[in-house]
Amino acid sequence: MGAIGPFFTPHDPTRVDLANNLLPPAFFPGGVWTYPLGTDQLGRDMLSRLIGGARVSLLVALVVVLVSGAFGTTIAMLSGYLGGRLDSFLMRLTDAALAFPFLLVAIVLAGIFGPSIQIVILTIALVGWASYARVIRSEVLSLKTRDFVTMASVMGAGPAWIIRRHLLPNVTGSIVVLATLQLGRAIVSEAALSFLGIGVRPPAPSWGGMLSDSQQYLIAAWWLPTLPGLALSLTVLSSNLMGDWLRKLNDPTQRH
Amino acid sequence: MVRYVLQRLLQAAIVLVVVVTIVFVLERLSGSPVDLLVSSRATAADITAMSKYLGLEDPIYVQYGRYLLRLAQGDFGESFSYRAPVRDLIVNAFPYTAALAVAAFIFASVVGVTLGTLAAVRSGGRVDAVVRGFGFIGQSVPSFWLAIIFVMIFAVKLGWLPAFGSGGVDHLILPAVALGAFPMAAISRLTRSATLDALRADHMLFERSKGVSPSVFLSHLLRNASLPVITLSGIQLGELLSGTIIVETIFAWPGVGQLAIQALSTRDYNIVQAVVLVQTATFVLLNLLVDISYGWLDPRVRT
């Protein structure tokens, strides 16, 4: 839905129509079918803005998952397979990343460079890689002692070969599960940053920004806070359900 | 055990230093606060004098060294905008943040553990299905949306509870529940699966067949199921502390999160650094306590 958004939005999500502002959704009294989900305080079409917001959320979340997944897995492989001092250094780094107050860092970065999508992606990814590093590393540690890895190493395979051919295929399942669960969290983080005014810049539509604007119209227009939050929650819910389902598929002992 | 604790302490200190350094460097990059302090008619000489007065003319490593030295003495410096010691500002604001986080945590753990245990004991039944659905929804609804919806329903429409500000316990209910919903869901899900695992363990089956009283059985069950739940709870409490920032801004709750957000717009470095430091320190300390209690509860960890 997000990807094909620009071709399907009924209106331009930033077009202002003050004569028709704060219209309720069409199936409630006072609503019109020109604006199926109503309009906001500036008369902008809610449906178009919701679709535009979906596009931003999914784009940010996908890039975050790709960047932090690739980085976290690399760290996990190096740390878990090579071990030694490198391992303890990288794990301390992971602890630091997990203890990092990402929201504050995001605000500081936005202060330096101004609010932008790139900063949002960078800060979420800055923390996100750590959970991959932790989980995948522990799997690598147990894989490393298995016969087929010892065998390959005895036969003269180098670390790069073993990581690529023997370790990576065996942790793909976990990576997919982690990625699906992270997708939901990344979407919430993006919305939180846009909500605080340090993410996507208005007037470009974003779910967090729409929620932030809606706070002044709680009495006049219930659909302003309700619809973006609903879109956000449903997206995250489906990502969580999918992650949970994949996890059970991946690990038969978890089925209960 | 002592070695284990010492090792964890050292690790915690390293994390703190890394965080302090990164934040220090980031903030010095973000531009000078002098432009915001002097009037528009200030001459170049005035600006230099002001920079010198604030110690911003020195090389960055001197500023950093001075900062660390003062931190070691428990001094967070002066706030440019409030013209007051940052320590006082933090000391005033932190109890509010702590109260909010603790209230949310109590809500999350009491409701979460109760629901999770109920669901596990009645596994497969209707209660179980409801709790599981609740858990999924709770983990998918962001706290700030919940906060806005709560304000709309309970403060604006029904008028039962105040919409913002601080005061009695009634001011704490909406922010605490909004903040606690996510950890509540996480704790209920984990309690359910941990209790199910414990129920299936051989020694519990033996106890049940032996016919011990329900209260003894329950206490053994909870003790066995508590390990993962305590670990998760510690992590959740840490995350609650940083989650307070956004909830504090919605409810105008006078905690450190709101203080930090306001300080950022005036580029009041010292406040932001102090807030980040206090929050990180609390988070690291909580993780430390969780790890130690883990060793206390499970003798197998003590090596």
The conformation of residue B78, written as its DSSP 8-state character, comes to B
Residue A105 near chain B (CB below 8 Å): yes
Residue B183 within any structural domain of the chain: yes
B262 and A111 Cβ atoms separated by less than 8 Å? no
Q: For residue B60, what pLDDT is reported?
A: 76
Counting Cβ atoms within 10 Å, is residue B299 exposed (0-12), middle (13-18) or buried (19+)? exposed
Q: Give a three-class secondary structure readout of chain A.
A: CCCCHHHHCCCCCCCCCHHHCCCCCCCCCCCCCCCCCCECCCCCEHHHHHHHHHHHHHHHHHHHHHHHHHHHHHHHHHHHHHCHHHHHHHHHHHHHHHCCCHHHHHHHHHHHHCCCHHHHHHHHHHHHHHHHHHHHHHHHHHHHCCHHHHHHHHCCCCHHHHHHHHHHHHHHHHHHHHHHHHHHHHHHHHHHHHHCCCCCCCCCCCHHHHHHHHHHHCCCCCHHHHHHHHHHHHHHHHHHHHHHHHHHHHCHHHCC
Query: What's chain A's average pLDDT?
Result: 79
Q: For residue A256, what pLDDT is reported?
A: 46
Sort out which chain A residues have CB atoms less than 8 A from B275's CB and list them. 104
Decide if A102 and B242 are in contact by the 8 Å CB cutoff: yes
Q: For residue B303, what pLDDT is reported?
A: 46
Predicted interface score ipTM higher than 0.95: no
pLDDT exceeds 90 at position A48:
no
Q: What is the CATH number of the domain that holds A115?
A: 1.10.3720.10
Q: For residue A31, what pLDDT is reported?
A: 65
Q: Give the residue on A whose Cα is nearest the Cα of B197.
A: A256
Lowest mean pLDDT across A10-14, A246-250, B149-153, B189-193: A10-14
Decide if A103 and B242 are in contact by the 8 Å CB cutoff: yes
Neighbouring residues of B233: CB distance < 8 A, sequence distance ≥ 6: B105, B109, B183, B187, B290
Residue B40 within any structural domain of the chain: no
Q: Give the residue on B whose Cα is nearest the Cα of A109.
A: B26
Q: For residue B132, what pLDDT is reported?
A: 85
Residue B192 near chain A (CB below 8 Å): no
The amino acid at residue B27 is: E
Q: What is the CATH number of the domain that holds B153?
A: 1.10.3720.10
Residue A41 within any structural domain of the chain: no
Looking at chain A, the whole-number percentage of residues with pLDDT higher than 70 is: 83
Tell which B residues from 82 to 111 touch A, by Cβ distance under 8 Å: none
Backbone angles phi, psi at B78, to 5 degrees: -95, 150
Residue A101 near chain B (CB below 8 Å): yes
Residue A99 near chain B (CB below 8 Å): yes
Residue B90 within any structural domain of the chain: yes
Residue by residue, DSSP assigns B153-215 as IIIIIS--S-SSS--STHHHHHHHHHHHHHHHHHHHHHHHHHHHHHHHSHHHHHHHHHT--HH
Residue B46 within any structural domain of the chain: no
What does the alpha-carbon distance between residue B283 and residue B237 come to, in Å, rounded to a whole number? 8
Residue A35 within any structural domain of the chain: no
Sort out which chain A residues have CB atoms less than 8 A from B144's CB and list them. 191-192, 195, 208, 211
Residue B245 within any structural domain of the chain: yes
User: b or e along B196-233 (b: 16 or more beta carbons within 10 Å of the residue's beta carbon)?
Assistant: bebbeeeebeeeeeeeeeeeebeebbbebbbbebbbbb
Sort out which chain A residues have CB atoms less than 8 A from B151's CB and list them. 215, 218
Sort out which chain A residues have CB atoms less than 8 A from B261's CB and list them. 107, 196
Banded pLDDT at A252 (limits 50, 70, 90): low
303 residues of chain B, pLDDT tens digit each: 677 778 778 777 777 787 778 777 776 765 666 666 666 677 777 777 777 777 776 777 888 888 788 777 777 777 878 888 888 888 888 889 888 988 999 998 899 888 888 888 787 788 888 888 888 888 888 888 888 888 888 877 777 777 677 777 778 888 888 888 888 888 888 888 888 877 777 777 777 777 777 777 777 777 777 777 777 777 777 778 777 888 888 888 888 888 887 887 777 777 877 887 788 788 778 777 777 776 676 666 554
Integer CA distances (angstroms), A17 to A42, A46, A207, B189, in order:
6, 12, 20, 46
Residue A177 within any structural domain of the chain: yes
Residue A17 within any structural domain of the chain: no
Sort out which chain A residues have CB atoms less than 8 A from B142's CB and list them. 188, 191-192, 229, 232-233, 236
pTM over 0.80: no
Q: What is chain B's alpha carbon radius of gyration, rounded to the nearest angstrom?
A: 24
- Closest by alpha carbon to A221, among A53, A39, A49? A39
Q: For residue A67, what pLDDT is reported?
A: 93
Give the number of other Cβ atoms within 10 Å of residue A168's Cβ: 15
Q: Where in the sequence is the domain holding B200, given as residue range(s)? A: 86-302
Sort out which chain A residues have CB atoms less than 8 A from B280's CB and list them. 99-101
B259 and B210 Cβ atoms separated by less than 8 Å? no
Q: What is chain A's alpha carbon radius of gyration, rounded to the nearest angstrom?
A: 22
Residue A239 within any structural domain of the chain: yes
Q: Where in the sequence is the domain holding A164, given as residue range(s)? A: 48-254
Q: For residue A9, what pLDDT is reported?
A: 64
Name the residue among A218, A232, A240 with its Cβ closest to that of B152: A218
Q: For residue A64, what pLDDT is reported?
A: 92
Q: What's the number of domains chain B is made of?
A: 1
Name the residue among A95, A104, A240 with its Cβ closest to that of B139: A240
Residue to mutate among B139, B144, B270, with most A CBs inside 10 A, is: B144
Residue B113 within any structural domain of the chain: yes
Q: Give the residue on A whose Cα is nearest the Cα of B242.
A: A101
The conformation of residue B299, written as its DSSP 8-state character, comes to G
Q: What's the number of domains chain A is made of?
A: 1
Q: How many CA atoms lie within 13 A of B12 on its CB side?
A: 20
What does the alpha-carbon distance between residue B119 and residue B130 come to, in Å, rounded to a whole number? 8
What does the alpha-carbon distance between residue A185 and residue A191 come to, in Å, rounded to a whole number? 10
Q: For residue B210, what pLDDT is reported?
A: 76
For the stretch B198-206, contacts whose Cβ atoms lie closer than 8 Å and that sit 24 or more positions apart, written own/partner, are B198/B224, B198/B225, B199/B120
**Who has greater pLDDT, B299 or A78?**
A78
Counting Cβ atoms within 10 Å, is residue A85 exposed (0-12), middle (13-18) or buried (19+)? exposed
Residue A154 within any structural domain of the chain: yes
Residue A42 within any structural domain of the chain: no
Name the residue among B14, B136, B145 with its Cβ closest to that of A211: B145
The conformation of residue B140, written as its DSSP 8-state character, comes to T
List, for residues A158-177, the tens digit of each pLDDT value.
777 787 777 878 788 888 88
Residue B130 within any structural domain of the chain: yes
Decide if B156 and A219 are in contact by the 8 Å CB cutoff: yes
- Closest by alpha carbon to B78, among B273, B300, B293? B273
The amino acid at residue B298 is: D
The whole-number average pLDDT for the span A190-196 is: 85
How close A218 gets to chain B, by Cα (Å)? 6
Backbone angles phi, psi at A128, to 5 degrees: -65, -30
Q: For residue B39, what pLDDT is reported?
A: 66
What does the alpha-carbon distance between residue B235 and residue B224 come to, in Å, rounded to a whole number? 19
Chains A–B, number of C-beta pairs less than 8 Å apart:
116
pLDDT exceeds 80 at position A190:
yes
pLDDT exceeds 70 at position A7:
no
A37 and A47 Cβ atoms separated by less than 8 Å? yes
> For chain B, how many residues are written?
303
